[in-house]
Amino acid sequence: MLKIAFIAHDRKKDEMVNFVIAYEHVFVPHKLYSTGTTGTRIMEQTNLTIHRFMSGPLGGDQQIGALVAENEMDLIIFLRDPLMAQPHEPDIIALLRLCDVQGIPVATNIATAEVLVKAIERGDFAWRELVHKYKPGADE
């Protein structure tokens, strides 16, 4: 079971919803997270249960970033809008930076998202179970 986060900027939300519908069967066994509005949109159109954080501009990216900082998050699909300025740009940069700090796979466009979802399907990230299992403070 991986921890996967979905984040999409407004003009990318339809693309995100269609993507998650297409691969719903891949995401079902995993623990899913999202920023506020993205999660609402996905849950309206799929049967997935998603833990929703705050909306991005209100701190949602930072909340997901906090899990990344603790090496808790396994993979992020973040469909960014490259053509629209975001009021919380610093939060977005901070989240992507933390993904690079921890070496967390993060797709920022649909083409990379497709590659990652195929990798999830193949079990390429199963090693992340070990990260969680042997983390300091983990139960076992």
Ligand X SMILES: O=C(CO)COP(=O)(O)O
Size of the site for ligand X (CB under 6 A): 12
Is the CB of 61 or the CB of 74 nearer to ligand X? 61
Which of 61, 81, 91, 100 is an active site residue? 61
Q: Rule CB under 6 A: say whether 9 interacts with ligand X.
A: yes
**Cα–Cα distance for residue pair 113/135, rounded to 1 Å:** 27
Angle between helices 13-22 and 36-45 (to 10 degrees): 50
Is the CB of 3 or the CB of 41 nearer to ligand X? 41
Query: What does the block give as tokens for 39?
Result: 């999660």
CB of 123 to ligand X, least distance (A): 28
Q: Rule CB under 6 A: say whether 108 interacts with ligand X.
A: no
Query: Catalytic: 61?
Result: yes
Please write down the HEC assignment for all residues of 65-97. Answer: HHHHHCCCCCEEEEECCCCCCCCCHHHHHHHHH
**Cα–Cα distance for residue pair 24/21, rounded to 1 Å:** 5
Give, as ranges, the residues between 49 and 68 that touch ligand X (CB under 6 A): 55-57, 60-61
**Cα–Cα distance for residue pair 46/112, rounded to 1 Å:** 22
CB of 118 to ligand X, least distance (A): 24
Q: Rule CB under 6 A: say whether 38 interacts with ligand X.
A: yes
Enzyme catalytic residues: 61
Interface contacts to ligand X, rule CB under 6 A: 7, 9, 35-38, 55-57, 60-61, 92
